[in-house]
Amino acid sequence: MATRKFTPIEQEAIAAAVAEGLAIQHKFRPEPLYKLTGKGYLKSDGVAELQKIKEQSGGKKVAR
Amino acid sequence: MAWPSYKKSKSNPVARKWLANVPWDGVVAINEQLCAAKNALHKATSDGFDPAYKLWSDNYARQMELDEAVEICRRCHKLAPFCFFNGNTFAAIIRSSIGSVIELDTSESYMLRNVVGHIVAGTSTSEEEEQFKTLLSKLN
């Protein structure tokens, strides 16, 4: 699969997506289950992570 | 922030070029790196690559509402253009494009990214889809 050069903005977006993808990779199965079965797979992290974020933020608005 | 600036209009307040900074070759590069991280084969599928490429290339550059961007990612995931790690490739693209949304507090922003991830992964429940609509209405 040939790839072309990316603009700096594209490179940044791709790097952000790769970082995100690596962070959530443990929740996915590698094989194309969604295509094969019509149902995807995603491992749940439970409520612990949300609780942690709530504690850290104190419910403040996020600055963009 | 790598993503295009927020373009607010009266008719379509959350329309944005959500996917514009990831051309198809970028999608391929993302999957390549995710596969490399797990020593998985990075290879196009014979039946899914071309339709996913067409769907993405026909749409990624234009301004659209968030639910449409999510749907494009979900459909590309389902088409399975790659042998492995299609799910987190497309979930990561839409989750990172959302980033931090100014109209939502931290927990709502987290929920939005979570729900969107579930929709693209193909695991969302009807309750989560309702939650997505509610969060979209808050953006509006």
Taking only the tens place, the pLDDT of each residue in B19-77 is: 999 999 999 999 999 999 999 999 999 999 999 999 999 999 999 999 999 999 999 99
Q: Hey, are the CB atoms on A32 and B84 less than 8 Å from each other?
A: yes
Q: Hey, are the CB atoms on B107 and A9 less than 8 Å from each other?
A: no
User: What are the extents of the domains in chain B?
Assistant: 24-139
ipTM for the complex? 0.87
Q: Does residue B1 surpass a pLDDT of 70?
A: no
Q: A25 touching B, CB under 8 A?
A: yes
Determine the residue type at B129: E
Nearest to B96 by CA among A50, A12, A25: A12
User: Would you say B44 and B82 are in contact if contact means Cβ atoms under 8 Å apart?
Assistant: yes
pLDDT, tens digit, 9 for 90 and up, residues B74-121 = 999 999 999 999 999 999 999 999 875 666 788 888 889 999 999 999
CB-closest option in B102, B114, B123 to A62: B102
Secondary structure of B49-105 in HEC code, one letter for each residue: HHHHHHHHHHHCCCCECHHHHHHHHHHHHHHCCECCCHHHHHHHHHHHHHCCCCCCE
pLDDT, tens digit, 9 for 90 and up, residues A7-38 = 999 999 999 999 999 999 999 999 999 999 99
Q: Hey, are the CB atoms on B122 and A4 less than 8 Å from each other?
A: no
Residue with tokens 């695991």: B123
Q: Hey, are the CB atoms on B101 and A64 less than 8 Å from each other?
A: yes
